Structure 1
Amino acid sequence: MNAYKKAITAYEALHPDVKIDYQTFPYDVYNQKLKASFSAKKPPDIAEMFGTWVPEYAKNGLLAEIPDGNQLKNEYYEAPLGGYTLNDKLYGLPLEFNIENGGMLIHPDMLKAQGISQPPSTWDELVADAKKLTIRDGNRIKVKGFDFVSGDNITFTFLSMILQQNGKYWGDNGHVHFQTPEAQKAMTALTSLISGDKVADLTTFGGELDTSDYFFQGGSAMTYRGPWSIAAGLNTYKVKDFEYVPVPSFTTNPPVFAAESGWGLVASQKSKQQQSAIDFIKYLSTNDNLLDWNLNTFTVPAKKEVAENPEFVKANPYMKTSLNILKLGQWIGPIADRDYFFKVINDHFQLMTSGQETVEAGLQNIEKSINDSQDQHK
């Protein structure tokens, strides 16, 4: 909020004839309010949107094209730009790289206590270390060796494990393909971490606290989470004895990963102030302003020059792991209903780990449910 207000004040000082009325809404009502405003043909001139929301608005002709799209595309990483692109045209600019993969929180002292001198560098080492680090109280896991069980990370990890095998999960007509050898191997390994290796469980899944909260409370030795969780450890929990390190690739290939396009700004096609709206978006997206934005919001830059700026790197030493792999990110793809997509994978993941569904049947059901949803949104 303060980052927006600062940018608006600076822009208005440069453009005395422009007045920006900044409004905020609680997240749980914002998406519906946004849809209602566009449906009523009374949209805001500028709107903040999450990347997975943008394609629906763009394909319905509700958003203004951002000029100089081809030049701008070269300035941003692929993954955050994906959701804002339709038919090779830009319909907004991302302010952040929404990355949930590639890095994990670790307690170095917990690793040392088990004779582990350094973080795992291969997937096999990760599993072996996680087994050593798991502490049980009878049948209950007291400290999870490797916690990845969150609403986002189950799906992101699954998709990235497919990509790391040089596999694909998108087919024709906006359909997913999860009945592939790569998907089968990925989901088998992922569910085995709970059902076979028993380095984590589902006891806290869907609860009020995030997996990172449990980590900072000492409930896990290694937790797979996005770099945004670092701020919670430093500012909320005041924890210093942790590190944020790379998660090894599932294969010997580079740790490529799937990522959504994060929060960014779009301009309404119907806006009477369209030119000024686009001008503000481009103003906020200049290197200096975006650097200030990312620093103040503790977000990962979507723009290459900002992410590589020594000032940003120096101010965010914990983010080094994420910054090193941004070029490996691939856009998650044209998901029609983000919440449903993730829910379907999460629901069947629970059934598979509990033995109520085989991996093969689970993947078949996931594929059918998601493809039905994709068809409904065409």
Structure 2
Amino acid sequence: MKRLSLALLIVFSLVLAGCSPNTTPTESAAKQPAATESVASPAATGGEKIVIRVWGHQNNSFNQAHQDIINKFMEENPNVEIKFETFPWDVFIQTIQTSLPAGQVADIIEMPGGMGLRYAKGGQLLEVPAEVMTLDRARETYFEAPLGGYVYDGKLYGLPIEFNLEYGGAYVNEEMFKAAGLPYPPQWKGWDEVIADAKKLTKFDSSNAMEVAGLHYTNNDQLYTYFLSGILEQGGQYFAEDGKHFNFNTPQALAVVQKMVDMAQKDKVVDPVTYNAESNWVGTSFAQKLTAIAVLGSWFTGEARITYPDLKFDYVKLPPFMGDQYKFTSVSGWGVVVTKYTQHPEIAWKLAAAMAADPENALHFNLTTGTIPAMKQVANDSRLSEKYPFMKDLVTILPYGVFQGDIVDPSQLEFDIIYPNLIQAIQGIITPEQAVQNIHEEANAMVDNAK
């Protein structure tokens, strides 16, 4: 993740109130949830509109889906004005981290997966009212992994809108497979088959520099997720006994790192120096046909269809990374929360419910964005698999996902600790043993420093 300078961040925080939406309103086809009470009529409020601010990150398909639902909400509630403000990813994360604790924040935030617990513990989020969604009902409604990021101390503090699935799927291009004489779409039974195809898809120029990566897995989200998931798939655990510290100095962790290193150094399906989170990013390089098999979350599907309308691709299921049984982690998933600073909690929760608790709206969001549903009912909806045929197969692994756990600082663990050490090991700068030891020490230091 790119870091903002402190000066820039301070200046930006001073002008947040003047930010305007970066999305274009589009027609909505979603209905209002019946779980919450009606908003007062214009006459009851003296004709003045109630303003609700919503913050989100800049993503074309996400913004379009949210704007659709917001437009419909305002049509059905004419005394309510929704100001939908979006920010670039890095700015958005920094804005949440600085503005939410200070109380200079929107009524509703589209919360990144894994960040909700921090602010629930800090008392900055409102508990979901029982009339909107009880915890028991939420457990029946949503999959375990995305819901876990919004439950703290037995209470519900938000509603997930997608299952952050950075595991279990890859983007493939029919033209590249057929040119290499490979069957399409691939139906891999194990990672040895994935690697075998990747070798045939990898291309080098006359100077032996990589022109096309057969398998790009060296993005930060993927290395982080596959590292944690690979430990679990071998029957290991990454939390220490106290549930706060970590135990990464294990044979299971080392085996995962060794496999990641071997795919680059022995199988040579990717050049980790030129293909990583900072260079030839996996989504962009796939769109440019510089990557043949792109390991990336399904969320890129909707974005790719908008950003690269001429790109032809499929999203296919990958086998378990370590062993023959799926067990993978998730940072939860994007969701909506209501901050304690809202002056209109009833209306804010009604909008939040419209965005995340209504099955038709949830389906509209997942159809528009190409994201994996957090809601069980939507995952089994035939309309989803009709638009995205890959979903029919991919959703079968969702019950095997687990929330990554209550981590002190998930972003620091991923971007500052696990990813830098793993990419250095894959690049051959440090050994797998050094990477595991570094991650173990740095992760536990993060926990101790947060006390």
For normalisation by structure 2, the TM-score amounts to 0.77
Letter in structure 2 aligned against 1:346: Y
Q: Structure 1 residue 140 and structure 2 residue 140: aligned?
A: no
- Which stretch of the first structure deviates more once superposed, 85-94 or 243-252? 243-252
**Residue 436 (structure 2) pairs with residue 363 (structure 1):** yes
Kindly indicate whether residue 425 of structure 2 is the aligned counterpart of residue 352 of structure 1: yes
Please state if 1:165 is matched with 2:246. Answer: no
Are residues 253 and 87 of structure 1, via their aligned partners in 2, closer, same or farther at CA, if it must alter by over 3 Å?
farther
Counterpart AA for 1:372: A
Within 1, Cα distance between the matches of 2:162 and 2:323? 29
Match of 2:25 in 1: none
Q: Taking structure 1 as reference, are residues 112 and 16 closer, same or farther at Cα in structure 2, changes over 3 Å only?
A: closer
Match of 1:54 among 96, 110, 116: 116
Using a 3 Å threshold, how does the CA distance of structure 1 residues 185 and 95 change in structure 2: closer, same or farther?
Answer: same
Structure 1, gaps ≥5 residues long: none
Query: Amino acid of the residue matched to residue 97 of structure 1?
Result: F
Which residue of 2 is the match for residue 340 of structure 1? 412
> Aligned equivalents of 1:237 and 1:32: distance in 2?
28
Q: Compared with structure 1, are the counterparts of its residues 14 and 41 closer, same or farther at alpha carbon in structure 2 (3 Å cutoff)?
A: same
1:144·1:219 contact (CA, 8 Å) conserved in 2? yes
Structure 2 counterpart SS, 1:221: strand
- From 154, 164, 170, the counterpart of 1:98: 164
2:184 aligned with 1:122: no
Aligned residue-pair number:
378
Pair 56,212 (structure 1): closer, same or farther in 2 beyond 3 Å: same
SS at match of 1:214: helix
State the identity as a percent.
35
Q: In the TM superposition, what is the alpha-carbon distance from 1:162 to its structure 2 partner?
A: 1.7
CA-atom RMSD, angstroms? 2.3
- What is the CA distance between 1:156 and its match in structure 2? 1.3
Classify 1:125/1:24 alpha carbon distance in 2 versus 1 (closer, same or farther; 3 Å).
Answer: closer
- Contact (CA 8 Å) 2:216, 2:291: kept in 1 or not? yes
**Given that residues 165 and 253 in structure 1 are in contact (C-alpha distance below 8 angstroms), is that contact kept between their aligned partners in structure 2?**
no
The equivalent residue for 2:127 is: 65
Question: Of 272, 285, 300, which residue of structure 2 is paired with 1:229?
Answer: 300
Q: Is the 8 A contact 1:51 1:263 kept in 2?
A: yes
Match of residue 291, structure 2, among 220, 226, 229: 220
Question: In 2, Cα distance between the equivalents of 1:319 and 1:25?
Answer: 29
Q: Distance in 1 between matches of 2:305 and 2:187?
A: 21
Matched to 2:389, the amino acid is: P
2:396 corresponding residue in structure 1: 324
Could you tell me which residue of structure 1 aligns to residue 35 of structure 2?
A: none
Instruction: Show the counterpart of 1:24.
Output: 86
Q: Distance in 2 between matches of 1:163 and 1:224?
A: 19
Q: Deviations over 1:154-188 (max 9, x none)?
A: 11122222222222212224122211121111111
Q: Which amino acid counterpart does residue 364 of structure 2 have in structure 1?
A: D
Q: Which residue of 2 aligns with 1:178?
A: 248
Deviates more, 1:76-85 or 1:221-230: 221-230
Go from structure 1 to structure 2 and tell me whether the alpha carbon gap of 1:173 and 1:165 turns closer, same or farther (over 3 Å shift). closer
Q: Distance in 2 between matches of 1:238 and 1:188?
A: 38
> Superposed, which structure 2 residues align to 1:69-88 within 5 Å?
69-88=135-154
Q: Specify the SS of the correspondent of 1:296.
A: helix
Superimposed CA distance per residue, residues 324-361 of structure 1 (whole angstroms, 9 cap, x where no aligned partner): 32222211222332332123222112332343322122
